[in-house]
A = this chain, B = another copy of it.
């Protein structure tokens, strides 16, 4: 119930967002959901962070914990979004500006230091990256496929996840093209 709104980091709201589907999840399940969707646009928070975040959100009354008593021995808590949780989330969405994306690109960083390494190794670096990229893209494509097609009324709720997934796929595609070109430039010895 606390009204400390906008005091929370973005990750808190990302997790709240994952709970807007109405079901109640354990920390473990929430982490899985994050790995499945959030990971592509926002780094999936660490296990430990999911739990500490849930504890804090519960303290603020934005999620409600329910002890799973099916087994008395088994300690397992399920969390669901509360009314004020949903309210805090929409307030955050409409009242704050989105920051510019942050990119940590180890491949670009290494290419930047290309003068320190063997040219062959640089090429290997980029080709290896192309491989990883294809893998990632395939994973995201699977997610995208599960969201149904545009115009399908059965998946109308998936409209925005679909848009974002398409964004991600296009991004991976453009990254592929760019790296392909870089490899060509390097092979041709263009300085």
A190: CB under 8 A from chain B?
yes
CB <8 Å contact, A128 and B164: no
How many copies of this chain? Answer: 2
- On chain B, the residues within 8 Å of A167 by CB distance are 108, 111, 178-179, 182
A32: CB under 8 A from chain B?
no
A109: CB under 8 A from chain B?
yes
- A108 CA / B102 CA spacing, docked (Å): 12
Query: Which of B100, B112, B159, B171 interacts with A160 by CB under 8 Å?
Result: B112
CB <8 Å contact, B90 and A101: no
CB <8 Å contact, B150 and A42: no
- On chain B, the residues within 8 Å of A163 by CB distance are 111, 114, 182, 185-186
CB <8 Å contact, B17 and A115: no
A105: CB under 8 A from chain B?
yes
- On chain B, the residues within 8 Å of A128 by CB distance are 97-98
A103: CB under 8 A from chain B?
yes
From A86, which residue of chain B is reached at the shortest CB distance? B116
CB <8 Å contact, B42 and A108: yes
CB <8 Å contact, B106 and A99: yes
Q: A145-165: which have CB < 8 Å to B?
A: 150-152, 156-157, 159-164
CB <8 Å contact, A107 and B101: yes
User: Contact string, A69-98, partner B, CB cutoff 8 A, digits 1/0?
Assistant: 000000000000000001001100110011
A88 to chain B: closest CB distance in Å? 11
A20: CB under 8 A from chain B?
yes
Instruction: List 12 contacting pairs A-B, 8 Å CB cutoff, sorted by A.
Output: A17-B112, A41-B109, A42-B103, A90-B116, A98-B106, A100-B136, A103-B103, A103-B104, A108-B164, A111-B163, A115-B159, A162-B191
